[in-house]
C-alpha cells in the first residue's frame, strides 16, 4: 500500500474535529478528497462513508464510556436513518447514471445552503438567544411522539447521507440541538454514536456498488483514528460556551467546502478563513457577557428534564 501524507494529514485533522464536535467527517473529507486528492465524486462519497463508519465507531465507543450519549435518541434516529441511507445509496447511483455530474452539483449546492442556514441558526442561538440555552437538558424522555418524530427525521437525514456522505454529523447534530435540546456535550456524543450506526449501513451499501477505494480508506484511517482519540480526549475539557460557536464555525467551513466541490469559485483561503473570522467575532461577543453565560449554564444543568413537544 502506498502512503499518501496529504490524505493522512486530512484524516488527522478531520478526525480531531469529529471527536471534538461530532461533525466534519463527510462535510469536510469528501470535498478535500475531490479538490486536493483528485478522487472521483462517487468514489469519494463511498470511501468517505466507509472510513467514517470505522472512525465514528471508535469515537462513539469513547463517548459512550464518557457518558455523553443518549442511547434512546440514538436508537430511534437509527430506526429511520439506516433504511433511509440504503434508499439514498440506491438513488444516487441510479440518478448519477441517468443525469451525470449535473445531478451531483444541484444536490451538493442544496446541501451547502442547508448547512449555511444551520450554521447561522446555531451561532444566533448561542450568541444572541441565551434564554434557549437554559432549556437544554442532559437526556430526553422517550415517548411515543418522540419515537415517531426521531424515526421520521432519521429517515430523511439518512437519505441525504446515503446520497452525498454529508450530514451524518452536521444535520443530525442540528436535530439534537433544536428538536431534542440536548446539552452541547450530549449533542456531540449522541451524534457520533448514532453516526457510527448510520455510516456502517451506508458504507456497506456503497461497498456493494463498487464505489469504495480501500487503499484510500486505509490512508485516511491512519490519520483519523488517532485524531478521533485526541478529539474525544479533549471533549470534556472544552467549555460548553465555547463548543456551541465552534459547531457553527465548523458548519460554515463545511458549507464553503461543499460549494467548492459543486464547482463554484470559492477562494481557497475562504474555506478556513471565514470560519476563523466568525470564531474570533463570536469570542469577543461572548466575552461581553461572561457572567450571564455562566449563570445560564448552571441553570441548564439543574433544570428538570422534559421531553420535547
pLDDT for position 297: 47
Q: Would you tell me how many other CB atoms lie within 10 Å of the CB of residue 142?
A: 16
Instruction: Judge whether 133 lies within some domain.
Output: yes
Instruction: Judge whether 307 lies within some domain.
Output: no
Burial class (CB in 10 A: 0-12, 13-18, 19+), 210: exposed
Backbone angles phi, psi at 203, to 5 degrees: -65, -45
> CA 206, 260, 107: angle at the middle one, nearest 5?
50
For 213, the enclosing helix (H) or strand (E) is none
DSSP 129: -
How many Å apart are CA 194 and CA 198, to the nearest integer?
Answer: 6
Instruction: Judge whether 308 lies within some domain.
Output: no
Q: Tell me the β-bridge partners of 182.
A: 137
238 torsion bin: left (phi>0), alpha (psi -120 to 50), beta (else): beta
pLDDT for position 132: 55
Task: Show the DSSP H helices in the chain as ranges.
Answer: 5-21, 25-37, 41-66, 71-99, 101-128, 130-133, 144-164, 170-178, 184-208, 214-234, 240-261, 270-287, 290-302
pLDDT for position 203: 92
pLDDT for position 167: 72
Instruction: Judge whether 309 lies within some domain.
Output: no
Residue length, the chain? 309
Number of domains in the chain: 1
The domain in which residue 135 lies consists of 5-302
- pLDDT tens track, the chain, 309 positions: 688 898 999 889 888 877 776 666 776 787 778 767 888 878 888 998 998 898 889 888 988 988 889 999 999 999 999 999 999 999 888 887 787 767 777 777 877 877 787 788 778 767 776 555 556 677 788 889 989 999 999 999 999 888 877 777 767 877 887 788 888 778 888 988 999 999 999 999 999 988 899 999 999 999 988 988 888 788 777 666 677 787 788 778 878 877 877 778 888 888 889 999 998 998 888 777 654 444 444 444 444 443 333
Its pTM surpasses 0.85: no
Distances in Å between the Cα of 61 and the Cα atoms of 194, 196, 218, 229 are 11, 9, 20, 10
Instruction: Judge whether 145 lies within some domain.
Output: yes
Residue bearing cell 437525514: 157
Cβ atoms of 296 and 134 within 8 Å: the answer is yes
Instruction: Judge whether 286 lies within some domain.
Output: yes
Amino acid at each position: 500500500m502506498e502512503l499518501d501524507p496529504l490524505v493522512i494529514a486530512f484524516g488527522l485533522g478531520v478526525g480531531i474535529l469529529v471527536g471534538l464536535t461530532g461533525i466534519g467527517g463527510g462535510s469536510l473529507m469528501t470535498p478535500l478528497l475531490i479538490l486536493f486528492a483528485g478522487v472521483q465524486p462517487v468514489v469519494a462519497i463511498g470511501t468517505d462513508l466507509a472510513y467514517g463508519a470505522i472512525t465514528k465507531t471508535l469515537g462513539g465507543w469513547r463517548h459512550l464510556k464518557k457518558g455523553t450519549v443518549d442511547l434512546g435518541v440514538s436508537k430511534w434516529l437509527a430506526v429511520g436513518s439506516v433504511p433511509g441511507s440504503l434508499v439514498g445509496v440506491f438513488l444516487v447511483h441510479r440518478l448519477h447514471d441517468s443525469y451525470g455530474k449535473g445531478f451531483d452539483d444541484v444536490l451538493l449546492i442544496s446541501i451547502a445552503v442547508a448547512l449555511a442556514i444551520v450554521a447561522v441558526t446555531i451561532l444566533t442561538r448561542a450568541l444572541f438567544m441565551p434564554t434557549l440555552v437554559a432549556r437544554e437538558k442532559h437526556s430526553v424522555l422517550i415517548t411515543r411522539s418522540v419515537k415517531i418524530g426521531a424515526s421520521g427525521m432519521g429517515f430523511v437525514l439518512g437519505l441525504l447521507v446515503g446520497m452525498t456522505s454529508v450530514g451524518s454529523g452536521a444535520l443530525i447534530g442540528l436535530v439534537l440541538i433544536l428538536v431534542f435540546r440536548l446539552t452541547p456535550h450530549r449533542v456531540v456524543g449522541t451524534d457520533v454514536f448514532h453516526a457510527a450506526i448510520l455510516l456502517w449501513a451506508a458504507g456497506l451499501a456503497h461497498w456493494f456498488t463498487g464505489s469504495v477505494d480501500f487503499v484510500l480508506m486505509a490512508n485516511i484511517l491512519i490519520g483519523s483514528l488517532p485524531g478521533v482519540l485526541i478529539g474525544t480526549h479533549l471533549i470534556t475539557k472544552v467549555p460548553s460556551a465555547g463548543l456551541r460557536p465552534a459547531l457553527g464555525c465548523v458548519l460554515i467551513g463545511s458549507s464553503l467546502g461543499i460549494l467548492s466541490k459543486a464547482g463554484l469559485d470559492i477562494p481557497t483561503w475562504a474555506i478556513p478563513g471565514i470560519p476563523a473570522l466568525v470564531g474570533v467575532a463570536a469570542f469577543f461577543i461572548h466575552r461581553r457577557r461572561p457572567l450571564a453565560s455562566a449563570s445560564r449554564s448552571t441553570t441548564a444543568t439543574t433544570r428538570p428534564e422534559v421531553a420535547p413537544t
